[in-house]
Amino acid sequence: MTDRTRLRDLTGPEIAARAANEVLFLPLGSIEQHGPHLPVDTDTHIAERFAEAVCARVGGLVAPGYAYGSRSRPISGGGERFPGTVSLSAATHSALVSDLVVNYARHGHRRIVLVNGHFENTAPAVEGVDLALERGADARVSMVNWWEVIGADTLDRIFAGDFPGWEAEHAGIVETSLMMHLDPGRVHADAISPTTVAITPPPYTVLPERPGLVDPSGVLRTAHGSSAAIGEAIFEGAVEAIAAVVRAEFGAAGGVER
């Protein structure tokens, strides 16, 4: 059935009528191994769900994003050696974002929000927006990494002051809890190791990636202790935080000035 907030469900004339007045959300994710307990589309799925939930709250249209993200790095996603991790080069990713911003703007979409679920997308996607602006795209674009806008106080409340920090949060307690809340049927809870990982990735880059940089499980810390309740609290906190960004930057109903 047609979902009136899903751009892909609409016809051309329907989009034409709404382009100028509504914020456009583009979810960005990755196809990246997330340990033995989460599907490879975890980042993509989370980003899509955030985009939909924020859109439901502040209005707008959710456009198709793309599933693939920028190269995974050992410190933040385990790296490119793990099967299941299929990534774009930075140039391709930036070109993709640039083309989408240029073309949506050309049709009148002047307010665009990239809702990002994969850390390594940050630099190439923002570069892509820069490239689009250099090509003359007439739009304002925000890019939000959901984990960066959620408040410290929210995390303190959820984790009772014991939040372990975002470093090495990949297939860890936050992402796993989010998936338990959003899509429990695709979480293999029995595959979550009760102990923490044996190997912590070093805080620098080595290329070519050598064996031994990352725990063989592909998990960077631990997913032990995850729960749907934690996931729900984080989800609600981040949705509200992203919605606040949209309101602040683009106005509640869409009044845009540049």
- Considering the candidates 37, 175, 181, 215, report the single residue annotated as catalytic: 175
Whether 109 is catalytic is no
| Residue among 50, 79, 145, 233 that touches a second copy (CB under 8 A) | 145
For a second copy, which is the closer residue by CB, 44 or 226? 44
Contact 101, 95 (CB under 8 A): no
Which of 48, 118, 169, 181 is catalytic? The answer is: 118
| Complex with a second copy: residue 72 or 177, whichever CB lies closer | 72
Residue 118 is among the residues annotated as catalytic for this protein: yes
Contacts of 177 (CB under 8 A, 6+ apart): 226, 227, 228, 229, 230, 231, 234
Task: Judge whether 134 counts as a catalytic residue.
Answer: no
Q: What is the footprint of a second copy within residues 211-230 (CB under 8 A)?
A: 218
249 is catalytic: no
**Cβ 107 to a second copy shortest distance, Å:** 5
d(CA 5, CA 125): 23
- Choice among 109, 170, 181, 215 that is catalytic: 170
The reply to whether 175 belongs to the active site is: yes
CA dist 54 → 26, 228, 238 (Å) = 11, 20, 9
Residue of 23, 38, 47, 233 interacting with a second copy (CB under 8 A): 38
Q: Does 73 engage in binding with a second copy (CB under 8 A)?
A: yes
